[in-house]
Structure 1
Amino acid sequence: MNPAAAVSSRRPKAPPKIRPPQRRVNGEDQFDQVWENLAHAIRVICCHNAGCLSFEELYRNGYNMVLYKHGRKLYEGVRTVVSEHLYNVARDKIVPVFPQTAPGGGMTGATEYLRLLGNMFDDHSTCLGMIRDILLYMNKVYVPSNNLLPVYDLGLDIFRDVVARSTTYPIGKHLVDALLYHIRLERDGEIIDRLVVKHVIDMLSALTSTTVLPRLGTEATVYDVDFETKFLETSTAFYQMEGQTYIRECDATEYLRKAAKRLAEEEARTSNYLVPTTEGKIRHVVEEQLLEHHVKTVIDMENSGMVPMMSNEKIDDLGRMYKLFGRVSNGHNEMRETLSAYIEELVRGVNETAGGVPVADTAAPEQPASRPQSASATQSNPILWVEEILRIKGKLEVILKRSMDADRTFETTINDALQRSINKNKRAPEFVSLFIDENLKKGLKGKTEEEIDSLLDKTVTLFRFVEEKDIFERYYKQHLAKRLLFGKSVSEDAEKSMIGKLKVECGYQFTAKWEGMFNDMRMSSDLMTEYRTYLTKSLTVPKNITELSISILTTTFWPMNSIGAGEACLFPPEITASLEHFSKFYHMKHSGRRLTWSPQFGSADLRATFDKGKKEINVSTYGMIVLVGAFNACEAGEEVELSRIANLTGIPDADLKRTLQSLALGKHKILLKSTKGKEILPGDKFRVNTAFTSPLHKIKIQQISAAAANGGSLENDAERVSTMEKIDETRKHQIEACIVRIMKSRKRMDHNNLVAEVISQTSARFTPSPVLVKKRIESLIEREYLERDKADRKRYNYLA
């Protein structure tokens, strides 16, 4: 048996090969006939009579032409036939329906024209699909090998060249003009057939601008080159003119509404029938022409611009302005500049009306003040000033949150403008401290804990804007001392809460002495409890001894130099005895300590007998010394001269005059003055008003303060000058200490870097001028803490 035959017998039968039927083609004439058949078929397809054709036979003809190397003839023939067909259609069907320009800029027949072109393109696309099917073999074999366009893409390019960009007839021009006319109608409020426009736009988007191989899908289209460019040009001219019209005819609110409406319309237009890539381009045109070119004009519009919007709290209009101008590069910058100027103007008005700042100081801060400080001090109202600043800040916070999306850049602008404006009032630290003082004394009555905490938070926020925090610290210490000593604080919890908030802002060192003051008051209360127990147990103390309530103050904690350390005065014998007993008790517990009495902070309750009855009178300690020491032993109606009162009491002249004013010129006249007028003159005499009467049994005589003439607790000119001298002296030491710390760590520094570092480290409390820092450096050089570098005179060396 033959092995080969055996193997062959087991092999499965191969399926029969199906070959396309072939015709014997003997010459070029035969292929001409084949092509004529195909050309006729293509013409029939283009005329929508394909039902009579045999697609199998047509496919076979195309296959044979490619197979027998006549692919070029077939490809070019298709191009020619399709081109001729489209040319005839353009001549016979499109040209006769060109839209006509009507008087007044209108256009007749534009919609029909666009509809015809759209339908023609659909027909052409359908025909190209059929032609592609019968020439499928050419598409797969001949076209790729010769780097040619597929039949369908070829047909699209032919439509572009013969119809959309015809060089014989102005079809493309009329096409673009008709599209732009429809868009203009829609912009003018007319209703157009969007489906027709979208149909034509899709047609232009399907046509590439140039014949490119290979096709990647990113090629520029006829829409991009022919229509979009013209569309953007005409849109620019349209919105440029419309922007100028709006500026002439509209106020800011209406202008912004119309601009927002136009932007929304263009976005909708792109969504409805334009290409998505156009949206960003047309949006830029509208933003540039309606917004960017008119930002400053709209913001500055009289009676309707940004400032009137803020003044009238037009939240929605401001929000619209913020959103619209945020689209352009210069929008928010201009808004921030206007916002800053608006804030400075508001605060300038508050400084002039309630801050005591002369007009020249705020209107032209670069010029020296044209009025003396006393002229402004008489106009000061610290509480009103702070309330107005807080009102302005609250208003700005609402605008920032509701109109500007809490934009951090706008928040920074607001804070910077407030800080600059507030610190143009040199008394801002004192005013803020007085506002806190007023509220902690009586302003918190009737408020809930949440309201108290909110008020304190607002005040701390205002405190942040104060640059000279060391001045605030000094005033706050004075005011806190008086609240504690005179028992005027409404709530100790509120006091400690305020100190806690300030500690968070400035650190422990800023509030350490204030906390020490509270500790002194607590220890004094415990000490007085022990003293009273001591009095009850002591056998040497008289039973009718005058009751005392004494606060022991640590000198380093309390601002004794600011509020008065207390000068020696002559206490009445009754009081002197009680003081001696207390001193003995105190030194038993704390030997080696020295007590210095400060009577200007105390008060006393006296029982007085007048012609109409007995009264209980609460007076200051100085008042008690005057009444008991100078008048208690006088006969009825006996007058005492001012000089004698001074000798009997030893009270300093200024304090004595204020005390006598309180007793003789106040609401309750316990004393009578020999002369008329509010001033206490050297020759004045005083006597007890025995005929004094009052419906009240208990009477409180308010002590006239040193600053009563200047709005209550405000310092007068002399006191402020003294305070600033002390602050300047303290600053000198702080700057020198800072310089030494820096040089001790760096050892060697040049002048500019040292000055910059000193200003940076001290800015948390105050901002020294470079001149002041230079003077302190020179002082340290004189005292041999530093020396100038011998090789470079602008450098300093630290001397250990």
Structure 2
Amino acid sequence: MKKRQFCIERFKNRVVVDSNYAEKTWKILEDAIHDIYNHNACDPTFDELSRNAYNMVLHRFGEKLYTGLEKTMTSHLKQISQSIESAQGESFLEELNRKWVDHNKALGKIRDILMYMDRTFVPSNHKTPVHELGMNLWRDVVIHSNKTKTRLRDTLLDLVLRERNGEVISRGLMRNLLKMLMDLGSSVYQKDFEDRFLEASEIFYSCESEKFIKSCDCEDYLKKVESCLNIEKERASHYLDSSSESKIISVVEKKMIENHRHTLIDMNKSVLVNMLRGDKYEDLERMFNMFRRVHSGLTIIKDVMTSFIRDTGKQLIMDPERLKNPVDFVQCLLVLKDKYDKVITLAFANDKSFQNALNSAFEYFINLSARSPEFISLFVDDKLRREIKGVGEEDVETVLDKVMMLFRYLQEKDVFEKYYKQHLAKRLLSRKTVSEEAERSLIFKLKTECGYQFTSKLEGMFTDMKTSYDTMQGFLADHGAQLGDSPTLSVQVLTTGSWPTQPSPQCNLPSEIRGLCEKFRNYYLGPHSGRRLTWQANMGNADLKATFGKGQKHELNVSTYQMCVLMLFNNADRMTCKEIEQATAIPMSDLKRCLQSLALVKGKNVLRKELMSKDISEDDVFFFNEKFTSKLFKVKIGTVVAQRETEPENIETRQRVEEERKPQIETAIVRVMKSRRVLEHNNVIAEVTKQLQARFLPNPVVIKKQIESLIEREFLERDKVDRELYRYLA
């Protein structure tokens, strides 16, 4: 079936109402509005009033209703404004607040009565909603009246000033009135109060800062600034709008910190330096927290701290007295590092930029001294020796972690490797190390920092020690019965290249030892016929049984050189230094140190020297000290050697290091050129430096020389047009 369509038509006849309906109805509503403002009870009920308003809008009298509402409210607000203006003194704000509360209550009731108009007539005719209309009228008629606007602002600012000067004010009243301004619109709050409030605050804190800066030291000044910031933050939370907090805090920061930041830093001949010297963590933290609030504030603190640490470190590095004892020298560096690590942790919130500045300062002054790599290695050697008492493995591990921090600052890590290898060799060969675990732990740290190549030879030294132990066990198993009462021999076979052995003159060993050495040589070279053994007497040690006057016996722990010297006195009563040299073939420089330790060290002078003096000449005469006594049965006699190298030795070590660097520089140049094929001179320098800086910082002059060498050997060539351009020759 076909669907039927329905159409509803509007009434053809308009509903006719009483011609006086609008006036009568509005009169009822107007009276109700008057009663609401006058706090009188309304005769019509709320439902009746709402129905009347509804009917007026329904019968198209909405415009009359809206216009009448606006006029009635304006009339009442003018009366309210006059009442407020007539209030005197402090009652002005109280009256304003009371009338504002009444207006809000009245506005709420009126809006409820006119809800239908608000929902239909207002949006369709682009009118202002009832509540917003009431707010706008309050703003224009009451707040912006000629007598109220300026008076309100000045009164509010005066209350803030009085509170800043220590008086107690009604914060609740302030909060209500400022919230009123904010409710009227953020622009009203800003123009009628906030702008002038911030201007007045700038003037106030400018004066306060000038007063404080003249009467306080830096520490007290910063405490006052901190107090002002806290007070303003508290004030903002109590009665200012939340948007004002950051603005007033910014005013305090600018006027009290930013404008005086240089004065504060330089106060009392650099107050920051005095704080750093005196470990004033609380004051430093306060300064950090204050200065971080302003532009470039932390940069100023960081620059002063960096400069001070550089100067302090430079004085330490250049102090000749400190350089006399390498261990104390490095200990001072560690104490200095711990001190400023603590400052950055406790006072500077572990700020990354401050940590970088500290690292930069240490890297600067540690590399001012060419002896730093040697001294750090000597410090490690001191801590890893077994005879150090009161130092456990855990303590050693902590110390090693700290040493690694200093190691990272070194630009010449290969120089450290050179010295560390020498000191490690002495510890291993003399078996005077805290533990193999501690030694391997440090090598692992070095490998992590610099790579496998840096530690490969160091690990080879441990391998040699294990192999040597197994070899000696085999030797004793094969020849133990033949040795009888012969001296006991222990040999470590060191691989050339892994150990820091230098060609040394062959010492004339005692006959009792030479036979044993020859037996070991024959045993070792049997299965290793292609190898060659060279005795390094300068790296050995021995235990001797000695009998002194009255039959007193002692066991002397000495170096191999010292053993050779002492064994001569089995067959001689007196010998000159020259005669001892001829008999032993020990180099004179080493011999003099041996004789000094044997004859001139109190409590260990198993030899005596005629004409006692610290210096030894070739004609000095030595004889066996029959009167030697000691409370200990085992007496260790160390060789008198300087903890640090002498200047000629240091120069020689440097020369060896420089020679060892050349092949590494050449390798880096070839590696760079092989990958890039064509490269400009400055870029070659930069690339090679970048590749090698993990081990050392190559000199650009040396890099250039090695480039020239590679050109001569036809690995590279210069471009025929651009002489600064290099080409790799495949």
What's the % identity of the aligned pairs? Answer: 44
**Size of the alignment, in residue pairs?**
717
Q: CA deviation at 1:350?
A: 2.6
2:719 and 2:725 in contact (8 A); partners too: yes
Task: Label 1:39 to 1:547 Cα distance change in 2 as closer, same or farther (>3 A).
Answer: closer
Indicate how the Cα distance of structure 1 residues 567 and 82 shifts in structure 2: closer, same or farther if over 3 A, else same: same
Identify which of 16, 19, 22 aligns with 1:24: 19
Q: CA 1:139–1:698 in 2, change beyond 3 Å: closer, same or farther?
A: closer
Task: Please give the residue correspondences for 1:521-560 in structure 2 after superposition, counting only pairs within 5 Å.
Answer: 521-538=465-482, 543-560=484-501
Deviations, residues 569-618 of structure 1 (Å, cap 9, x unaligned) = 32333332222222222222321222111211223333444443353444
Using the alignment, how far apart are the partners of 1:651 and 1:388 within structure 2? 38
Q: Match for residue 268 of structure 1?
A: 234
Rounded Cα–Cα distance in structure 2 between residues aligned with 1:23 and 1:746: 102
1:164-199 alpha-carbon deviations (Å, 9 max, x no partner):
111xx3211111111112222222232211221122
Q: Which amino acid aligns with 1:558?
A: W
Q: What letter corresponds to residue 581 of structure 2 in structure 1? A: A
Q: Which residue of 1 aligns with 2:172?
A: 195
What does 1:241-256 correspond to in 2, within 5 Å?
A: 241-256=207-222
Deviations 1:364-411 (A, max 9, x none): xxxxxxxxxxxx7x8432111221221222223333333333332322
- Alignment of structure 1 residues 300-379 onto 2, 5 Å: 300-302=266-268, 305-353=271-319, 356=320, 379=323
| Cα distance in 2, alignment partners of residues 60 and 583 from structure 1 | 125
Shift in Å, 1:439: 0.8
SS at match of 1:682: coil
Aligned: 1:173 with 2:150: yes
* Aligned residue identity for 1:745: S
**Secondary structure of 1:582's aligned partner:** helix
AA aligned to 1:194 is R
CA RMSD for the aligned pairs? 3.1
Asked whether the 8 Å contact 1:614–1:697 carries over to 2, the reply is no
- 1:153: how far off? 2.2
Deviations 1:655-676 (A, max 9, x none): 2222222333232434343444
Deviation per CA, 1:308-359: give whole Å up to 9, x if none. Answer: 3333333333333333333333232223223322322332343244xx4xxx
Alignment gaps of 5+ in structure 1: 1-6, 8-18, 99-108, 209-219, 357-375, 708-712
Match of 1:113 among 89, 92, 110: 92
Matched, 1:82 2:73: yes
**What stretches of structure 2 of length at least 5 have no aligned partner?**
5-13
Quickly say closer, same or farther: Cα 1:61–1:670, change in 2 above 3 A. Answer: closer
Deviation, structure 1 residue 438 = 0.3
Confirm or deny that 1:789 pairs with 2:719: yes
Distance 1:726 1:49, change over 3 A: same
Whether the 8 Å CA contact 2:385–2:432 is kept in 1: the answer is yes
CA–CA distance in 2 between the matches of 1:47 and 1:223? Answer: 29
> Partner of 1:612: helix, strand, or coil?
helix
Cα distance change on mapping 1:146 and 1:487 into 2, 3 Å: same
Aligned residue for 1:619, secondary structure, equals strand
Partner of 2:189: 223
Shift of 1:760: 0.7
Counterpart of 1:653? 588
Relative to 1, partners in 2 of residues 1:699 and 1:81: Cα closer, same or farther, differing over 3 Å? closer
SS in 2 for 1:714: coil
Q: CA 1:132–1:496 in structure 2 vs 1: closer, same or farther (change >3 Å)?
A: closer
Alpha carbons 2:317, 2:323 under 8 Å: kept = no
Deviation of 1:231 (Å): 1.4
Aligned partner of 2:421 among 477, 481, 498 = 477
Match 1:96 to one of 86, 102, 118: 86
Counterpart Cα distance in 1 of 2:676 and 2:81: 88
* Pick aligned residue for 1:585 from 511, 517, 523: 523
Paired residue for 1:755? 685
2:715–2:729: 8 Å Cα contact kept in structure 1? yes
1:625 correspondence with 2:564: yes
Aligned equivalents of 2:507 and 2:45: distance in 1?
133
Matched letter for residue 491 of structure 1: S
Shift in CA distance, 490/197, structure 1 to aligned 2, threshold 3 Å: closer
Structure 1 residues 618 and 84, CA gap change in structure 2 (3 angstroms): closer
Residue in structure 2 matched with residue 569 of structure 1 by the alignment: 507
CA distance, structure 2, for counterparts of residue 67 and residue 701 of structure 1? 120
Is residue 164 of structure 1 aligned with residue 143 of structure 2?
yes
Partner amino acid for 1:90?
S
8 Å Cα contact 1:295-1:330 kept in structure 2: no
Report the counterpart of residue 465 of structure 1 in structure 2: 409
Residue of structure 1 in register with 2:161 after alignment: 184
For residues 257-296 of structure 1, what are the structure 2 equivalents within 5 Å? 257-296=223-262
Deviation digits for residues 642-691 of structure 1 (CA, Å, limit 9, x no counterpart): 33332222221212222222333232434343444222223333333445
The verdict on how the C-alpha distance between 1:49 and 1:693 changes in structure 2, with shifts beyond 3 A counting, is closer
- Per-residue CA deviation, residues 471-514 of structure 1 (Å, 9 max, x unaligned), is 10000001011112223223222222222222222222211111
Distance 1:719 1:62, change over 3 A: same
Secondary structure of 1:589's partner? coil
- Indicate the larger mover: 452-461 or 720-729: 452-461
Shift in alpha-carbon separation, 1:193–1:595, aligned structure 2, 3 A: same
Structure 1-normalised TM-score? 0.83
State the shift of 1:552 in Å: 1.3
Deviations 1:100-141 (A, max 9, x none): xxxxxxxxx23x111111111222233334444555555445
Which deviates more, 569-578 or 271-280? 569-578
- Other structure's SS at 2:543 match: strand
Go from structure 1 to structure 2 and tell me whether the alpha carbon gap of 1:648 and 1:45 turns closer, same or farther (over 3 Å shift). Answer: closer
Q: Is the 8 A contact 1:252 1:304 kept in 2?
A: no
Distance (Å, rounded) in 2 between the aligned partners of 1:603 and 1:202: 91
Maintained 8 Å contact 2:393/2:434: no
Distance 1:510-1:146 versus aligned 2 partners, 3 A rule: same
Q: Structure 2 vs 1, CA of residues 21 and 646 (structure 1 numbering), >3 Å: closer, same or farther?
A: same
Shift of 1:151: 3.2
